[in-house]
Structure 1
């Protein structure tokens, strides 16, 4: 994680060229970031994010500086807890932590369960905290649990995470036990439609993606995915055919900022590190001093190739060229991708840099507002309307 001092240096360096127009757009527009991993971060090491934090990429002062209006709090449950009661328990604990943030500082934060909540709370100057569940494991095959989590404020579910679960195959898991969605997963899609839950296809396998598209009566989201055309062979990202299918569905892809999602050089660096570590473990033994010092040594000899703001903008441009301006947004993965963030987009204070980059590439204010929140709010409203008409 970047320290505050490093982040502050990056802020000052990167915002020197931010125009008043870009700053005004960031402060005057609802900004939705559909995936920020604050709850799991504070679960592992508690910090009061209402105050300036010494690490991480989110806290209230930086969010206000960047104009962030509605960060979706990721209720992330590790795949290691799949098929266990612990999975459901952890999800409830993380939801409790978001509720506690609001209860401690109601002058700063508010829960958001609807599009209207976000809009009304924006007018009041509050930061809305809607929630999305990353990994459907806590559902545990129960539609009653689906309703319970909806009642607690969960508004999207990422069907799987790093391993295949009882709902869907994962893009990261070579075992394709369901060849897409499980039977329960196929029944979960219409149930989510009917209750008003957004369906998130980040992390799922390609087969599961196309099955979800075919089954859903509402547009889908990819809450924190980027483009495979820039990272060949990385199934976690979406290829052009999938992006076009998502556009036809009316959905939206929310671009992940992590360098390994954005450029092939950063992705290959991570692969190289893993292979080198495994080779060293095989040669020296897992408990050797060389293995203990490996990460620092490797980074010194092979500096991490951070992506840039321009690389992230390239992903946005590519989506717009493929399917138009109405289907792209922001899903940074702040607090979820460690220190791999691009230069110019190191934390939540730096959304104005993104706005400036879009202005510099010729995007109109109306189009920028769609990227910042309009596209996601449109999809969310469609999901709400469908559920209201089928209740």
Structure 2
């Protein structure tokens, strides 16, 4: 009975996931040549994500991450981001029977009506704009609908959760102006990866709902990448959504401790733990002698329920981070696993209304609200021409 209930729920309220790194996997594996990574036919064993498994998982909308490393210098990050954008647009164009590029909330609903998977884009880190308001606007023009303010490193105007503290303690004056301009554009402000100080500073400035595209609850797993309760509590007033991630080191305390130990070992070997590529390679090797503890479906459930308890049922969503991490719970091993999570929540007494809000209702509402705020702000103020050197002073 639960299986039938979840299947019916997903037909009405498909999953809208906040973060998937398939585009970067396509870069790494096949240099963006989709003819060599046929996600329509199936790519089991190579990726977490393909069309058959998206369909099995009830996924109706995906924020594809247009990620680039946060230690790429300046304009190189902008170029690499545009290559990621191009890859997503070509993904949708190559298999139009399965994907529809979506630029608005209405586009998402339209894709569902057509039986297609709405494909949106999120830039993972402010390095992608090279401290340029013009570059920010152009990312919006090519379809990017959220930007994570940082990735693993600080940028000149925002503080990351996994870097040394910045002098401004969160957002600089230019960083606050970036948030305002994102609100004027209708681009969602994504607070995954940022420090708690950046989270609070962004919420102080934001006029539209913020999201956490792939973060979990710090009270359940005490790691810097997760969201403190005081910030979760502010989402109700802001209208935002914390999209709970399935990444083991962010949901399972024992795995979080394992990652901390791996980070210490990496530093001793001269590798920075926030260097994503180098640390990933190091930790894979380190795990051979120091096995990673398992993570479970119940660990993820605990985070989803905690976010609902603190932020409210209208402020929780899902952001798996497939193809950007590994070692997921067995029931959540790839994008086909969402029904298993929903069934576990149903067994704990979640109503269909709350499950539908979790899968896509909440993020749909947040994007609509951001679009409404943008329509108002565009009638009130001109595009920002702020320059970082004018607001923050010369670079140190």
With normalisation by structure 1, the TM-score equals 0.88
Q: How much does 1:297 deviate? A: 7.5
Tell me which residue corresponds to 2:9: 25
Query: Map of 1:59-78 to 2, 5 A cutoff?
Result: 59-78=50-69
Residues 246 and 151 (structure 1), Cα distance of their counterparts in 2 relative to 1, 3 Å cut:
same
Q: Does 1:386 align with 2:376?
A: no
Tell me which residue corresponds to 1:247: 236
Tell me, in whole angstroms, the C-alpha distance in 1 between the residues paired with 2:7 and 2:364.
Answer: 22
Residues 148-178 of structure 1 show CA distances to partners (whole Å, capped at 9, x for unaligned) of: 1111110000001111102301010014143
Tell me which residue corresponds to 1:48: 38
Residues 300 and 87 (structure 1), Cα distance of their counterparts in 2 relative to 1, 3 Å cut:
closer
Residues 297 and 193 (structure 1), Cα distance of their counterparts in 2 relative to 1, 3 Å cut:
closer
Tell me, in whole angstroms, the C-alpha distance in 2 between the residues paired with 1:177 and 1:19.
Answer: 52
Tell me, in whole angstroms, the C-alpha distance in 2 between the residues paired with 1:217 and 1:189.
Answer: 9
Q: How much does 1:346 deviate? A: 0.9
Between 293-302 and 68-77, the greater mean CA deviation after superposition = 293-302
RMSD over aligned CA atoms reads 1.9
Q: How many residues align?
A: 361
Tell me which residue corresponds to 1:210: 200
Structure 1 unaligned runs (5+)? 1-16, 283-292
Q: Does 1:311 align with 2:308?
A: no
Is 1:18–1:352's contact at 8 Å kept on the other side of the alignment? no
Q: Does 1:132 align with 2:132?
A: no
Is 1:57–1:335's contact at 8 Å kept on the other side of the alignment? yes
Q: How much does 1:49 deviate? A: 1.9
Tell me which residue corresponds to 2:384: none
Is 1:147–1:195's contact at 8 Å kept on the other side of the alignment? yes
Is 1:160–1:167's contact at 8 Å kept on the other side of the alignment? no
Match of 1:36 among 14, 20, 25: 20
Tell me, in whole angstroms, the C-alpha distance in 2 between the residues paired with 1:325 and 1:192.
Answer: 26
SS at match of 1:80: coil
Q: How much does 1:76 deviate? A: 0.5
Q: Does 1:329 align with 2:317?
A: yes
Q: How much does 1:113 deviate? A: 0.4
Between 44-53 and 297-306, the greater mean CA deviation after superposition = 297-306
With normalisation by structure 2, the TM-score equals 0.87
Is 1:164–1:177's contact at 8 Å kept on the other side of the alignment? no
SS at match of 1:314: helix
Tell me, in whole angstroms, the C-alpha distance in 1 between the residues paired with 2:40 and 2:172.
Answer: 41
Tell me, in whole angstroms, the C-alpha distance in 1 between the residues paired with 2:108 and 2:258.
Answer: 39
Tell me which residue corresponds to 1:273: 262
Tell me which residue corresponds to 1:290: none
Tell me, in whole angstroms, the C-alpha distance in 2 between the residues paired with 1:215 and 1:33.
Answer: 26
Match of 1:346 among 309, 321, 333: 333
Between 169-178 and 367-376, the greater mean CA deviation after superposition = 169-178
Tell me, in whole angstroms, the C-alpha distance in 2 between the residues paired with 1:388 and 1:29.
Answer: 27
Q: Does 1:374 align with 2:361?
A: yes
Tell me, in whole angstroms, the C-alpha distance in 2 between the residues paired with 1:180 and 1:158.
Answer: 14
SS at match of 1:90: helix
Tell me, in whole angstroms, the C-alpha distance in 2 between the residues paired with 1:180 and 1:114.
Answer: 29
SS at match of 1:390: helix
Tell me, in whole angstroms, the C-alpha distance in 2 between the residues paired with 1:270 and 1:188.
Answer: 32
Is 2:16–2:318's contact at 8 Å kept on the other side of the alignment? yes
Residues 211-233 of structure 1 show CA distances to partners (whole Å, capped at 9, x for unaligned) of: 1101111111111110111222x
